[in-house]
Amino acid sequence: MLFRSKEKPTTPEASIKEYTTSEVIVDDQSSVHFDHGVEREAQGSSFLAYFNVVCVVAGTGALSLPYALRQGGWIGLFILFLSWMFSTYTGIILIKCLYHNGRTRLSSYQEIAQDAFGTIGSWVAFFFTFIILIGVSVLFMMLAGSNLTAICQGTSAELSMEIWTIICCAAVALPFVFFKSMKEVGFLSAFGALATVITILIVLVESIKDKKNHSNVHTDSVIWDQFPIALSSIVFSFGGNPVYAHVEAGMRRPQDWNKVVFAGLTTCVIIYLLIAVPGYAIYGNQVESPAYNSIPDGPSKIAAQIIITLHVIFACPILLTALSLDLEKLFKISSFHHSRLVEIALRMTLRIVMIVVVAAVAIEVPFFGDFLSLLGAFSNCGLVLIFPVAFYLRLTGVRNKPWYELIVCFLIVVLGIVGLIFGSKSAILNLRDDFNKTSSSS
């Protein structure tokens, strides 16, 4: 039952109402008090928030979904369906956690972890966020270097993949090192989602045209020993939880969040099915990651490679800057603790070290599909599945939950643990095999 005061709220505390002890909505977002001095920018519509969810979630992880089905078989579609439902649920309860104390609204994923499990929880959340941000940056540079190597092969611009990766990292370093902060403006996230959709449509059309050349491909219903790693690759495609707090903060009607996250993730699933099903059905156990590597060489493939390369080069500075700002806060690199020149020198040194690390890992681990699986297993299974449930139950209680919700929470955590432990193990073993094959062939 929903309890509402008949009088108009006159204080920030009065503007937050509860459905039950575990569900909170905001009636008057303009009077909500944000923790740590953050104020709500109540200017965006629910449709804009929906668009932002799609832009944040529908990224390059979609291009690995046919490969995920190759790893786990057609049962991967069932995992895709479960991941969609479970990530929708965790996206909803994560926002509830922002309002858990009934007085103030927290402003980030890490603050929820801090309130739930103290300093240890905050550090654990920071560690996993660090891994995913630095890892996706590495993934992006691997992808950009690989694409440019393929595009320029046989031309006067032909260079090794290592050199192209270094060039891409240098391009990213210019805005990343020399500018203190970069706000993620709408057109960049929109370009990322648009680039992914265009690439998926290119792969869809070209793979259907190429079907006649792959009439005897082999597909499996289920591959049990690769099931965890397929799970982690699929979960990677729903990794928007760490930024949901910022999306919800800009909504004019935050009480519409449940509808927004459901609609956004449903749209992503529809997009994912357009590439996962035909990609695996046509190319079977020969499908590659990213998926456009499977289609025939030609203008369409080159167009897909160029579009995705531009996307990842634009997106990488945003990811690294978000991580750098957290590290600078941790290491107290600011004008409050140092002179202006020392602050600039320390910041530039930190960011140069970060981009060198990204370049080194991208060059030494040039295996896109298995590296993505490792990222999805180790970080996203925790950030998307395990942690939100743990925060929710810790902050809002267990005994006040209906039995069916507790069962859902249990299943989500089990799925996350399976992906985290066994998926990481499988991804590491696959990476080891990749290195062994490379060394033996050379």
DSSP 105-160: E--SHHHHHHHHHHHHHHHHHHHHHHHHHHHHHHHHHHHHHHHHHHHHTTSTT---
The yes/no answer on whether domain 13-441 falls in CATH 1.20.1740 is: yes
At residue 435, the pLDDT reads 75
Q: Of 219, 275, 200, 289, which Cα lies nearest the Cα of 72? A: 219
**One digit per residue, pLDDT tens: the chain, 442 residues?**
333 333 334 333 333 333 333 344 444 444 454 444 344 444 567 888 888 788 778 776 788 899 999 989 999 999 999 999 999 999 999 999 999 988 888 878 888 999 999 999 999 988 888 888 888 888 889 889 989 998 998 888 888 889 999 999 999 898 888 776 544 444 566 677 788 889 999 999 999 999 988 878 889 998 888 888 788 888 888 888 887 887 888 788 888 999 999 999 999 999 999 999 999 999 998 998 888 989 998 999 999 999 888 888 887 887 788 788 778 877 887 767 777 888 888 988 999 999 999 999 888 876 766 776 777 777 888 999 999 999 999 999 999 999 999 999 999 999 999 888 887 887 788 778 777 777 676 5
At residue 46, the pLDDT reads 84
At residue 110, the pLDDT reads 86
At residue 180, the pLDDT reads 64
At residue 432, the pLDDT reads 81
Q: How far is residue 88's CA from residue 107's CA, in Å, rounded to a whole number?
A: 20
At residue 266, the pLDDT reads 95
Q: Of 319, 140, 287, 141, which Cα lies nearest the Cα of 203? A: 287
73, amino acid identity: G
Task: Please tell me whether the overall predicted TM-score, pTM, comes out greater than 0.85 for this model.
Answer: no
Q: How far is residue 423's CA from residue 439's CA, in Å, rounded to a whole number?
A: 24
Residue 33 in 3-state DSSP? strand
291-327 pLDDT, tens digit per residue, is 898 999 899 999 999 988 888 888 788 778 878 877 8
